[in-house]
Amino acid sequence: MPANQPIGVFDSGIGGLTVANAIQKLLPKEALVYFGDTAHLPYGDKSPEAIKYYSLKIAKFLIDEGCKAIVIACNTASSLAYHDLKLFLGTQIPIYSVIDPVVEYMTASNQFKNIGVIATRATIKSNIYAEKIHLQKPEINVKSLATPLLVPMIEEGFFNDQISSTLIHTYLSDPVLQKIDSLILGCTHYPLIRNEIAKYYQPEISIIDNTEIVAKHLQKELKRMNLLN
């Protein structure tokens, strides 16, 4: 696979652009092909079968576009379709989820003991963050909360206003998320409201979004495979 081929990035909507922007910033010589599946937005309330079907169709499209690697810039698709996509792609091109690099980052340090996770219903139901974190560090306490109204709110442009502040406060004040030392933004839409989330917590906890973490992981992997442009 030539190194000058593009990197494919996909999500259910605009959220994955946060990952695409981080990749573009870190790797400015790389060309990107972005697919935002707004026709089926949001993925968070779809069945696992539907998410796998949509993801496979998009992967085929990105292959046809000549992509040298694919980034699933969606936590829901990463949690439910990653393994199917990996089997489908085989050795054709590498594919990366947005979940594994974050889990690696969180478990590489002894800093995090009580981790909160906010994400779509489908991602939370999969329990993927807790399972993967506990495989590395079973002593870490993971508290997960589904926040299904955030993606539609962000897609409609209702953020950085009173509506978003009220909804974010309602979710973050949930008893499930009390006494955490860090919060994983388990949806690529959520970095768009990172400042509002940080404002709620002040500097008390670490807010973890996967954009830069995923971009750095991709850079390392492409370099390892001699695929950096």
Q: Say yes or no to pLDDT of 204 above 90.
A: no
Q: Say yes or no to pLDDT of 161 above 80.
A: no
Residue pLDDT, tens place only, 126-137: 999 999 999 999
β-partners of residue 7 are 32, 69
Q: How many CA atoms lie within 13 A of 32 on its CB side?
A: 23
- For the entire predicted model, the pTM comes to 0.94
Fold of 100-208: Rossmann fold (3.40.50)
Work out the angle between the directed axes of helices 211-224 and 17-26 (0-180°, nearest 10).
Answer: 50
pLDDT-derived band at 19 (thresholds 50, 70, 90) equals very high
Name the average pLDDT for the chain: 95
What tokens appear for 189 in the block?
């839409």
Across residues 51-65, what is the average pLDDT? 98
Q: Say yes or no to pLDDT of 159 above 80.
A: no
Cβ atoms of 193 and 164 closer than 8 Å: yes
What tokens appear for 21 in the block?
């922007």
Distance CA 199, CA 99 (A): 25
The one-letter amino acid at 23: I
**207 three-class SS:** strand
User: Which pLDDT score is estimated for 2?
Assistant: 86
User: Which pLDDT score is estimated for 140?
Assistant: 98
Which residues are annotated as catalytic? 74, 187
**80 three-class SS:** helix
100-208 and 7-97+211-224 share a CATH fold: yes
Quickly list H helices, the chain: 17-26, 48-64, 75-89, 100-107, 121-126, 128-136, 150-155, 162-172, 194-201, 211-224
Residue pLDDT, tens place only, 99-146: 999 999 999 999 999 999 999 999 999 999 999 999 999 999 999 999
Name the residue ranges covered by the structural domains of the chain: 7-97+211-224, 100-208
The yes or no reply on domain 7-97+211-224 and CATH 3.40.50.12160 is no
